[in-house]
Amino acid sequence: MCAQALLYGQEIGECNPRLFRRIITYKRLSQLSVSATHVKSSGTHSITSMEIEPMEYRYLISTGSSKKISIHDTWNLYRKEDLNSHSLPQVACVGSQERHKRYMHKNTVNFVQWYPRDTGLFVTSSLDGTIKIWDTNKLKPAETMQISSPIYNHHLSPTATTHLLIAAATTSRVRLADIRSGSTTHMLRGHVGNVLCVRWSPKDEFHLASGSVDNKVLMWDVRHAKSILRTFDQHNSESSGDPTSAGTAHTGTVNSIRFNDDGRYLLTYGTDDRMRLWNTDTGENTLVNYGRVDNDFQHLPLHMTIYNGGPMSSVAFVPAGRQILMFDLYAGHFLRRLTEHLSTVRCCELNPRTQEFYSAAQNSNILVWSPDDADAHSASDVIGVGGDATSNDQARQMIANLWQDDWSDSD
């Protein structure tokens, strides 16, 4: 369906507005290309985690092995429509000044997350065994919680209304830290290896999924004394319903897990180079075949991301080595390969508002992918939005020239 027909359909009410949005978004996602905009890198540290804040989808927070935490403003992109490359403005940075050293993490920061309802807070966890809750305006930690074992990942439930628990993935157990009391309340035992990833279910505020080095993915109910709700078994064997059974979700470390938007499905990714989609209600493997997805990250968490576009147009972005692969979430079709990174990709994040995509690799290089730049590059379709139109024209002309073949007549 062409864009004109869609627009018309939407006008006359033939096309569901939500569907219209999904179609447009899906189309734009397939046009992602590296934007001329870039994020200034500082040094060669690896970037382990980043997140775009879920209120306005404006501020991108990122952290890594340099222990610095930087916040970039993504909106700035559209104020300057200039083809000459420019960088995202950095709004704030913890660690840029000497005085920050006092309260910075002592070791690699493995995860950073905005407080789900306010940009005034964000939470970081680090291998030095602390979770810090930061005041964004002061750029100082409001609270520091000691867990005395390295933390690989943590998560704050985006949907919880009755609790404010941070689930922290540590060595062989999941710890629950209560922001309100500032204490670590629970300890969920069940894994036998380091827990690398943990996620609250969007469907039920007390449900929690975790993936570990021991190849297992477990579903917990934090209210239960017994805690383990479900063990995901890759072979869907008879005993898979039994929470105590020793079924494994992967035949390798589970690096990354992600729920879809309604929490009915769980996507997991392991070092057996496989991705699996699980039904969280029944705990069965949906056997969606994503094919082989290279993954050689043995003992570190990776962060994939999902665009939720309904059953037809949901997209999973998966870091696989130096590439990022795009899959149709429910069908398992391979969609696209983003190859611009030159070192191993650790995390990626999608801005659902603008369909901009951010990915970060181990060389502290954050790339901004934008569907708009593809339009801008196609020289025939020039839309002058601000800026110096003539100079832009010249630049585009030059690029168009460079894109031409250059066979000499003598050949």
Binding site residues, other proteins, CB under 8 A: 33-34, 36, 41, 44, 85, 322, 339-343, 363, 365, 367, 395, 398-399, 402-408, 411
* Helix 17-29 vs helix 3-11: crossing angle, to nearest 10: 160
CB of residue 409 vs other proteins: minimum separation in angstroms? 10
Q: Measured between alpha carbons, how far is 149 from 55 in angstroms, rounded to an integer?
A: 32
CB of residue 342 vs other proteins: minimum separation in angstroms? 4
Q: Measured between alpha carbons, how far is 158 from 161 in angstroms, rounded to an integer?
A: 9
Residue with smaller CB distance to other proteins, 174 or 376: 376
Whose CA is closest to 105, among 150, 50, 60? 150
187 within 8 A of 171, measured Cβ to Cβ: no
- Helix boundaries (H) for 104-211: none
CB of residue 367 vs other proteins: minimum separation in angstroms? 8
CB of residue 83 vs other proteins: minimum separation in angstroms? 9
E-strand ranges in 160-216 read 165-169, 173-178, 183-189, 195-200, 207-212
10 Å CB burial of residue 2 (0-12, 13-18, 19+) is exposed
Residue with smaller CB distance to other proteins, 12 or 402: 402
Whose CA is closest to 126, among 162, 94, 96, 158? 94
Residue with smaller CB distance to other proteins, 19 or 374: 374
Q: Which two tokens stand for residue 145?
A: 């919680």
CB of residue 400 vs other proteins: minimum separation in angstroms? 8
CB of residue 399 vs other proteins: minimum separation in angstroms? 4
Residue with tokens 């800026």: 387
Residue with smaller CB distance to other proteins, 15 or 374: 374
Q: Measured between alpha carbons, how far is 283 from 304 in angstroms, rounded to an integer?
A: 21
Q: Measured between alpha carbons, how far is 204 from 208 in angstroms, rounded to an integer?
A: 9
CB of residue 374 vs other proteins: minimum separation in angstroms? 11
193 within 8 A of 210, measured Cβ to Cβ: no
CB of residue 318 vs other proteins: minimum separation in angstroms? 17
Residue with smaller CB distance to other proteins, 6 or 36: 36
- Phi/psi for 14 (5° steps) reads -75, -35
Residue with smaller CB distance to other proteins, 42 or 172: 42
Residue with smaller CB distance to other proteins, 231 or 359: 359
Residue with smaller CB distance to other proteins, 142 or 374: 374
Residue with tokens 């069940």: 190
CB of residue 349 vs other proteins: minimum separation in angstroms? 19
How does 119-128 read in b/e, with b if 16+ C-beta sit within 10 Å?
bebbbbbbbb
- Count of residues in the chain: 411
Residue with smaller CB distance to other proteins, 19 or 36: 36
- Those residues with Cβ within 8 angstroms of residue 392's Cβ, 6 or more apart along the chain or in another chain: 81, 82, 83, 382, 384
